[in-house]
Amino acid sequence: MSGRAIELFQEQSGVNHLALRLPPSVEAEALDLLIDRMGGRLSYAPKQRIFHEDDPAECLYKVSSGLVCTSKLLSDGRRQIGGFYLPGDYFGLGCSGAHTLSAEAITNAKVRIIKKSVLMAVANRDDIERQLLWLMTRELAHLQERVLLLIKNAQERVGEFILEMEKRTKVGNAIQLPMKRQDIADYLGLTIETVCRVLTSLESCAAIEIQTLQRVVLRSSSALRTAMEDRSSIPHKNAARKRSDRHPHSVRRDV
């Protein structure tokens, strides 16, 4: 249980130990090695389920190839997609006890899987722990971004999605969209029709080019930005004017 009182004041490692301020270069090297060597290999066909949302969350997963998503089915029939996971991405984190989301393959996918208990038994615990904490922190930051996304309008949601996928899947200058339009819609909290319409409008304003269903090229990022901010050339929504009215002295009370 204890037996590490001797280390109590080793400040250097102690400070970093918290893993809430991590050297960015660390990433998950040891974890990668471990799961690649010791983790089980599993293959999934499109739409095949990897785990269900009530299954005990005792494993850690990493995508080797293909595309995986987590999702949740609501009582009214709507589906919300928690995230898309590309090769190299980890999923199944951040759940104590049971998963809160299901996971399924979207394309053919190969997945590495390792039990958390095995992970802890085999590896240097602190390294692994720090890396897991880092992964959780990233997941949390990503979720916060998503919350911000969901209060925006359709053009901004789709636009930010394009930009996110550009960072993650660009080969040459082609952005890959391996998921269905319906998956994008469920990820962005929109309908498939709205996603289609926005994509079409983005193409017609020369921001992007839809080469195939799953292949998009970013033609003009400035045009994309413009289209995202454009509210049909009407200064609608809660504009800055209104906001300043609402918090007229949010500044002057600062210490």
Please state, in angstroms and rounded to a whole number, the distance separating the CA atoms of residues 24 and 250: 34
Whose Cβ is closer to DNA: residue 4's or residue 247's?
Answer: 247
15 is an interface residue for a second copy by CB under 8 A: yes
From DNA, a second copy, none, interface partner of 2 (C-beta below 5 to 8 A by class): a second copy
Q: Are 101 and 71 in contact (CB under 8 A)?
A: yes
Out of 196, 205, 217, 223, which residue is the one contacting DNA (CB under 7 A)?
Answer: 196
Residues 59-98 close enough to bind a second copy by CB under 8 A:
72-74, 76-80, 82, 93-97
Number of shown-chain residues binding DNA (CB under 7 A) = 32
Pick the piece of the chain touching DNA (CB under 7 A) from 37-45, 86-94, 126-134, 176-184.
176-184
Q: Which residues are CB-contacts of 72 (< 8 A; sequence separation ≥ 6)?
A: 53, 79, 80, 82, 100, 101, 102
210 touching DNA, by CB under 7 A: yes
Residue 231 has what DSSP assignment? Answer: S
Q: Which listed range, 169-177, 205-213, 214-222, 233-241, lies at the site for a second copy (CB under 8 A)? A: 233-241
Least gap, CB of 42 to DNA (angstroms): 21
Q: Are 134 and 127 in contact (CB under 8 A)?
A: no
